[in-house]
Structure 1
């Protein structure tokens, strides 16, 4: 009887169902993925645990120690203040309205650049692309002076204009590349049915550009939700300021209460974490679809 020289590990791997074969590379990737998950999640977990400590617990315990008593009152106190809801409402208004305008305007412009032939189209699209390299903060002083001159200073409208203007170039670029991949046969069939450019855009190109539109909406929504400099310069009262400035204001109010300050950061960042958790796949698919020509 000949002794079997088969490797028991290899035998187990070969016995695995097709499509689920265990490989050394797969194990390494899985381990690295778990490690990277811990690295990226550790700061947020530290933030949450520390925000649930009271001041005495924070001063006497180790940084990574769990709270001895879960100080839920930190969040209850914040959620019980009207000022926090002013910040939240202002952020929601600015982000939702600006995102809707950005999506509609950039989609219409992208359709024109991708499908309609007109004079100086390439030149105008070149200006759109060139706008991507302009640092937005060099426009801070002119925008401040313009806002003061128009009587819009310290209003939510003062933030919407710059946010929309800064987001349009990259949004138009993404959606233009996306719409260029839509088959021409669909457009030609719609033209044979008597559809004009406006109807073709709303019934064919805009729905089929869903992944690209979602990418533009989520990407710009996250950017506007986190924006601090323009919100700080163009507004001055809590009634019109957005959530990033809540951290600034509450930090001075609760300077000696670090857990309370961290609770503000958690409440401010939580909507972004939730939005990105549900939208990351759409962002990646939209970026890939808009950057690779079929």
Structure 2
């Protein structure tokens, strides 16, 4: 009996089929990287070259004085304020949202569905609607113009999306693990601490990176709830390099570049964990 072999596609045609995808990837890389590259080039130009040469032109001379001026100014103070506020806010958000997600995902009680619906409904509340009440509450609590004035709003507005993601993630953890912990005598909090919190690490990493990026770039609350450079965060550092009638564009872009670098580093090292955490929470077992 003669068996006809199906001809395999040659390696050449297999390579050709990958060309469109590679071209699209390259185009997308250029689209996303080009603004950052232009920003870096402008930050290395002199003030005169900024107005006399195209934005994409290579600097005539690399002028690092703008970075020196930024680093010798109050930039490091802004950086410390951002690191402190974001770190504390993300830590509190992870702790509170994981507790709430465990309760909503695995503890049966009468108002479970209603509370989860309220959490989801909070996602549509505009931030700007709350500015005046939060400002008045901050003044009444004597927290205005302090780093702690930002932590409360940051945690409050990070909780809904964090609880939503972690609740869906914890629902995928096998129920047999919870039953085994209960047989061993673990109460709800012990089950959360020993079983669910460690197993939810991919989801926690996803929530931490997502909220960290959002809070690092947050502007409106930092602008409204702080007034002095000693307590302001990085998104407000740009005000130090602009006046009433003019702006030091290279210095401003040097600030933006230095502000974006930590996020780029975090994203490079954390993107795989973030994507895997989102996919793990989206796939139902």
> TM-score band, normalised by the shorter chain?
over 0.9
Distance in 1 between residues matched to 2:19 and 2:128, nearest whole Å: 45
TM-score computed with the length of structure 2 as normaliser = 0.92
Equivalent residue, structure 2, for 1:128: 119
> Contact conserved, 2:46 with 2:63, CA < 8 A, in 1?
yes
> Contact conserved, 2:202 with 2:274, CA < 8 A, in 1?
yes
Equivalent residue, structure 1, for 2:203: 212
**Would you say how many aligned residue pairs link Structure 1 and Structure 2?**
278
Equivalent residue, structure 2, for 1:92: 83
1:202-281 pair list within 5 angstroms: 202-252=193-243, 255-281=246-272
> 5+ unaligned residues in a row in structure 1: which ranges?
1-9, 15-20
Structure 1 window deviating more from structure 2 (99-108 vs 252-261): it is 252-261
CA RMSD of aligned residues (A): 1.8
Offset at 1:282? 2.0
Equivalent residue, structure 1, for 2:10: 11
Alignment of 1:27 with 2:19, yes or no, is: yes
After the TM superposition, which segments of 4 or more aligned residues of structure 1 sit over 4 Å from their partners?
none
- Secondary structure at the aligned position of 1:47 is classed as helix
Equivalent residue, structure 2, for 1:64: 56
Equivalent residue, structure 2, for 1:75: 67
> 5+ unaligned residues in a row in structure 2: which ranges?
1-8
Equivalent residue, structure 2, for 1:284: 275
TM-score computed with the length of structure 1 as normaliser = 0.90
Offset at 1:278? 1.7
Offset at 1:57? 2.7
> Contact conserved, 2:241 with 2:247, CA < 8 A, in 1?
no
> Contact conserved, 2:135 with 2:224, CA < 8 A, in 1?
yes
Offset at 1:269? 1.3
> Contact conserved, 1:212 with 1:287, CA < 8 A, in 2?
yes
